Every structure is written in structure tokens, then in C-alpha cells.
Amino acid sequence: MRRRCYPSDTTTAEWALIEPLLPVPACQTRWGGRPEKHPRRDIVDAIRYLVDSGCKWRALPKDFPPWRTVYDHFAKWTAAGIVGILRDQLRRRIRCGAGRAPQAVAIVIDSQSIKAAEIVSKATRGYDAAKKINGRKRHLVVDTRGLPLMVMVTPADVSDRDAAREVLFRLRLMHPELTVVWADSAYAGGLVDWARSFLKLTVKTVSRPKNTPGFVILPRRWVVERSMCATRRSVCIPG
């Protein structure tokens, strides 16, 4: 077993939370399979190291399992929805610890355009004329504490309203308890009527006060803006 020496390595408490949420190894199912060669905690630590440092898969330090093994597990767990399960479990724990209900009924949505590297496929990126950015757009939904419920990535030329339809539709299926969505003026218009008619969601837009120069903290919207800033602390955000 490798010695844990990186700031991104899991603590004992973190691993105790993560391990039970991972899929059962194939060798322990009725269909059978080969035993896994590398400890799962080492694989999770390798994924966390990559997210924290932004290195390439092939550049993972040698004290981790082979990069291909790490990537295959990451791809398999992502396809199985494990990332979302971990996110939801952590959010519920934090909300309950703060004396709140485990599930949110009000959410905040926003987007952020990010410049893409030259190696990124043209099919998965676009030009955001408003922000003058050629890349991808991250659509983030958080609760009123700033804890994430969903993130979806699209080409940067996809409008906020168009992306919000898919995001809110998927959220509605997973979280029927939702009632209110806070957003900026980019989400106004037809989306408000569509969400009310088809999803039974109330979309409330918060606009910047007119003739107000400089930085202004806007009610509700500042929560998702803060969460957007927090995501920048990680050099690489897979998925």
C-alpha cells in the first residue's frame, strides 16, 4: 500500500464515506470476475490528485496505480453515476448538519464560459459572443447554501435558456421536491413560462440595479457566483 503524502489524498474519515458508495467489485458479484489488482483508495487518491493538480492522465506520479487503470475506473464510475451519488450524499450530510432539511426546495442556476485548449474537439466547443470566449460553458445548479446539485457542460455558444431546459428537466426528475429556481436576467423570457407550465417550477430572475456602477452583490445570485469561484480552485474538473 502506498504512503499517503499528497494534500489531495483521502483522510480516513473521507474514505469511510466514499468506500461504501462505490460499486461492488466484479469478483464479488454472482457473475464473477478477476479480483482488482490495486486498492480502490489508491485509485480514488489518484483521481483527486489529477483534479487538484491538473496534470495529464499519463503524468500521474508512479506511486499511484497505472494511469490507464485509474482512467478506466474513473470512466466506469462516472458512467454509473457515482460522482453524482457522492455529491448528493455530501450535500445531504452538510444540510442536515446545519439543521436544514436533507433536500432543497429552492435552487440557483448560472453559467460560466471557459476558454478551451487547442486539443479540445471543435464539436464540443463554441464561441460565446457575449463573453468573447471560444470554449465550453459550465452550467451549475446549487442550493441556497451554494452546495451543488448538478453541473452540465456544453459548447460555449449554447444559450443559457436552451441549456437550462435540459438541466431543469433532469433536475425535476431527480428532485420532485423542487419549487423555486433563482437566476439572472439571461434566463428570462420563454423559459419562465415553459418551466411553470411543464415542470411546475417558478423561475425568479434577479437583475442588476440600473445605473449602479462597480461590483454589486445581488440577492440569491451571489450564492452561485461564490460556488463558481470555488470551482476555480481545482485546476482540472473532470466530467
Full pLDDT tens readout for the chain, 239 residues: 678 889 999 999 999 999 999 988 877 777 877 888 999 999 999 999 999 888 899 999 999 999 999 999 999 999 999 989 999 999 999 999 999 999 999 999 999 998 887 777 888 889 999 889 999 999 999 999 999 999 999 999 999 999 999 999 999 999 999 999 999 888 998 999 999 999 999 999 887 767 666 656 666 787 888 888 877 665 555 44
pLDDT score at 232: 67
Q: CA 229 from chain center: how many Å?
A: 13
pLDDT score at 73: 95
Alpha-carbon torsion 160, 199, 97, 206, what sign? Answer: positive
CB 126 within 8 A of CB 111: no
Of 20, 225, 26, the closest CA to residue 109 belongs to 225
For 40-51, give the DSSP string.
HHHHHHHHHHHH
| Residue count of the chain | 239
pLDDT score at 173: 94
For 57-125, give the DSSP string.
GGG--TTSSPHHHHHHHHHHHHHTTHHHHHHHHHHHHHHHHTT--SS-SEEEEEEEEEEPPTTS-GGG-
pLDDT score at 78: 92
pLDDT score at 213: 64
**Packing angle of the helix pair 67-79, 40-53 (nearest 10 deg):** 90
Q: Among the CATH numbers 1.10.3720.10, 1.10.600.10, 3.40.30.10, 3.30.420.10, which is that of 103-231?
A: 3.30.420.10
The one-letter amino acid code at 128 reads D
Query: What residue segments make up the domains of the chain, in order of their start?
Result: 12-80, 103-231
CB crowding 153-189: b at 16 or more within 10 Å, else e: bbbbbbbbbebbbebbeebeeebeebeebbbbebbee
pLDDT score at 233: 63
Grid cell digits, residue 21: 458508495
Of 162, 160, 173, the closest CA to residue 201 belongs to 173
